[in-house]
Structure 1
Amino acid sequence: MVQYPRKTNPGVRDGTVQKKHRTDDSPHYRNYFQATPVIDRLRPGAGFRHLLRKPEVVRFIGLLPDWAELSRGLDAVVLAPGHRDRMGYYDLGIVAICAWERSIAGRWSREFVDEHREILDRLGVPLEPSDRGHVSVAWTERTAKAFQLLHIFLHELGHHHDRITTASERESSRGETYAEDYANRYASQIWDAYVAEFGWS
């Protein structure tokens, strides 16, 4: 028989073992509203990698002039696992930036390229027509990081801004067009500050 050391004070009161603190729920951002947003980094998943680090997200947030208002009701900014069909998402107080595919350069549909032409031109990302209506996008680590911060992050923050500026503050009601316009407008506003902080040439 295996012997285990007995706890000298098991917390018994009136013949009943007391509930231990470790059984309480952890104050995780998915369970509890946060006083200030948590920045979390999850495993990127097979075939993906995180280009961004948490300190870079913090530095970028420092460039956002209305962060005090924008962070209202925001519980977490998450560097989330990669996904084949999305680059980020918003889930009621949680903004996520998904991990990038391990091969940085990629192929996008011509429609998707056209929808993101403004930010691609701003970042100077080389584009090459490919087959079957696709475009080869010659990302570098630097331009991909900038795209994640200046577009994906701002787009998902746009959904959050949509929610906190509705009367009920329960859901984002104005959709993808609102979030996309929000991201493009904000990226243009802070571009010079981004260049000064992160460098660009």
Structure 2
Amino acid sequence: MSRFYRKTAPGVRNGRVQKQNNWALSPGVYYNTQTRLVIDRRKPGEGYRHLLLKRDVERFIALIPNWGALAVGLDLVSLDCGRRGCDGWYNRGVLGICAWPKEMSYALDLPWFAEHRRFLARIGARIEDGGPGRDVTIHWTDSTARAYQLCHVFLHELGHHADRMHTRMKKDNGPRGEDFAEDYAFDLEREVLERYFGEFGFPA
């Protein structure tokens, strides 16, 4: 089936043909610049659930040093629907944190685990190492997953925003890529994590 906008018998007014349908996007938080930061919470989707509330994001950003400067150009934080293999995303002033899968235990990608094992230990995530040649399994709880979403995923996507804001035209989402965003998250996490524990408590 072909996909195109079909126009049938548009009217004529004052000698001008009128468009039958208006295909322009209505104003909305996902594609219009905002006067202040908006936090939006979408449906999590089948097989996912939200661990974060809007007020959790508000409490967390209050812990981030120099937030006022870091947030320049950031229009929206989206508590988005779940996506397979995606914890978060960033796109031109919009930062997304994906809903969490209902399955709380799963095998880890070993290179990812090697890069994140210190952070996982700091938030108390329970890791089950099956031994040589076997899977490493992580057993999340709501509180350890919430700490990961805020203290790593959020800061990683904020790193992409900081990267974009340092480009002249502000068009490229992240010219220095994933490595820059990961280093940014780990650097900022060192300052934020103890504050997080003080505000939210140590994950259980």
Query: 1:116 is paired with a residue of what secondary structure?
Result: helix
Query: 1:39 is paired with a residue of what secondary structure?
Result: strand
Aligned mates of 2:112, 2:134 — CA distance in 1? 11
Quote how far apart the aligned CAs of 1:56 are: 0.5
Query: 2:137 is paired with a residue of what secondary structure?
Result: strand
Which residue pairs with 2:192 in the alignment? 190
Aligned mates of 2:134, 2:169 — CA distance in 1? 42
Which residue pairs with 1:15 in the alignment? none
Query: 1:157 is paired with a residue of what secondary structure?
Result: helix
**Structure 1 residues without counterparts, runs of 5 or longer:** 1-23
Matches within 5 A, 1:1-201: 26-130=26-130, 134-171=135-172, 172-200=174-202
Q: Contact 1:110–1:133 at 8 Å: present in 2 too?
A: no
Aligned mates of 1:194, 1:142 — CA distance in 2? 12
TM-score, normalising length: structure 1? 0.83
Quote how far apart the aligned CAs of 1:115 are: 1.9
Query: 2:108 is paired with a residue of what secondary structure?
Result: strand
Aligned mates of 2:148, 2:142 — CA distance in 1? 10
Quote how far apart the aligned CAs of 1:28 are: 1.3
Which residue pairs with 2:14 in the alignment? none
Aligned mates of 2:35, 2:67 — CA distance in 1? 14
Quote how far apart the aligned CAs of 1:183 are: 0.5
Aligned mates of 2:119, 2:152 — CA distance in 1? 7
Q: Contact 1:63–1:193 at 8 Å: present in 2 too?
A: yes
Q: Contact 1:83–1:98 at 8 Å: present in 2 too?
A: yes
Q: Contact 2:76–2:94 at 8 Å: present in 1 too?
A: yes
Quote how far apart the aligned CAs of 1:168 are: 2.5
Quote how far apart the aligned CAs of 1:106 are: 2.2
Distance 1:25 1:86, change over 3 A: closer
Aligned mates of 1:120, 1:56 — CA distance in 2? 20
Identity within the alignment, %: 43
Aligned mates of 1:26, 1:130 — CA distance in 2? 52
| Alignment-mate amino acid for residue 136 of structure 2 | V
TM-score, normalising length: structure 2? 0.82
Quote how far apart the aligned CAs of 1:25 are: 5.8
What is the root-mean-square deviation in Å for CA atoms of aligned residues? 1.9
Tell me the number of residue pairs that the alignment of Structure 1 and Structure 2 aligns. 179
Aligned mates of 2:37, 2:105 — CA distance in 1? 32
Q: Contact 2:126–2:138 at 8 Å: present in 1 too?
A: yes
Aligned mates of 2:177, 2:134 — CA distance in 1? 26
**Structure 2 residues without counterparts, runs of 5 or longer:** 1-23
